[in-house]
Structure 1
Amino acid sequence: MSGLFITLEGGEGAGKSTQAVLLAEALLARGRKVLRTREPGGSPGAETLRTLLLEGNHALGLRAEVMVHFASRLDHVENTIRPALDAGMVVVCDRFYDSTLAYQGYGLGQGDPGCLSFIDRLIGLVGLAPDLTLLLDLPRDLALARLRQRGTRSDRYERLDEAFHQRVAGGFHEIARQAGTRVVTIPATGSTQQVHEVMLHEVEQRLPA
């Protein structure tokens, strides 16, 4: 049996986590076997590295930071994602390697070709690509308003300056442009239910019989 690998991407406050829950619940209601997971994290080893990446007090060099993300990702794929796909499950993952390209490649690395090439080589080593990526696109002013309403403690990426977040947004748009049909951009300005319905429609077109 072959499963379906779906990733959700986008900047801070776009609603990925909420939409991942709704999507997983809708697929379960349709009789699908579903695994919902996240990055960084998703396996015991990867969750340990998540704490280092999001809350760590020690600054890493850019390529070292990229490598930690991919160490986490490889553990996640080996121990969580691939076994679920082999069992015929639909895997719904909040972030995957497109986030590393956007945040580290375009955001921190400012689109440096050497950094982007470095990340691309590591992507090739993962040996697994999403079947469908849903990119939630939300203007930054609305994202900031949502983050303020959420009222939770910000991680170190959320605390970076506006120029960084603008580069991340531009990076996601460039990734979508290059990825062809794998990435579907979903406007996230509507209500939670409206966005969910658009996403579910896209997923239903890719579900195996």
Structure 2
Amino acid sequence: MNRMRTDFDERYRKGDLPWDTGRHDKNLELVIREEQIAPCPALELGAGTGSDAIWLAQQGFKVTALDMSPTAIGIARKKAAAAGVEVEFIVADILGDEIPSGPFGFVFDRGCFHTFDLPEERSRLAEIVWRHLNPGGYWFSLIASTDGPKRESGPPRRSALDIVSAVESLFEIISLKTTSFDSKLPEAPRSWACLMRKRDKVPTDD
């Protein structure tokens, strides 16, 4: 995980950010509007330079936003100040560090889930999100998908089975749709838009 932190911070220092359009993601706005998710305490994982967290704050959400890159968080804090909104930006590794705020009514990640190669890491991420959500809280995750032609670059690709295997015991999957990331690449990577709701009681096998 320290290697991942170093690699991402280096990319932010160099400005090698094909995923960062400087705008909030259209898929986030769509799910907030369509599902009528009311402003509440919200957590963003892998916030990058803060565009989505800032947009959520502008909609009335009380936002805590995490990223493992100190460079990204520094940029995000400056952007929030320029936009005149309050966001609690924190340098943190979601699998390794404590989250100081919460619980939350809404969790958003744009490309955090798919960075974890091991099934047990993805399941652990789901458990952490579950613990930090209020009963009935929502998790909206944008995850690079296996749809589309083979490509040599771009985010890691995950299947629908990868997602369901990690989250279904803890979350009701409200929708799992194909879409694409907002991106500066010539062809935007295909993605899953997965909206989930926290199960009040974790299912058991008996």
TM range (shorter): 0.3 to 0.5
TM-score normalised by the chain length of structure 2? 0.36
Which has the larger strand fraction?
2
In terms of fraction of residues, the more helix-rich structure is: 1
TM (norm. structure 1) is 0.36
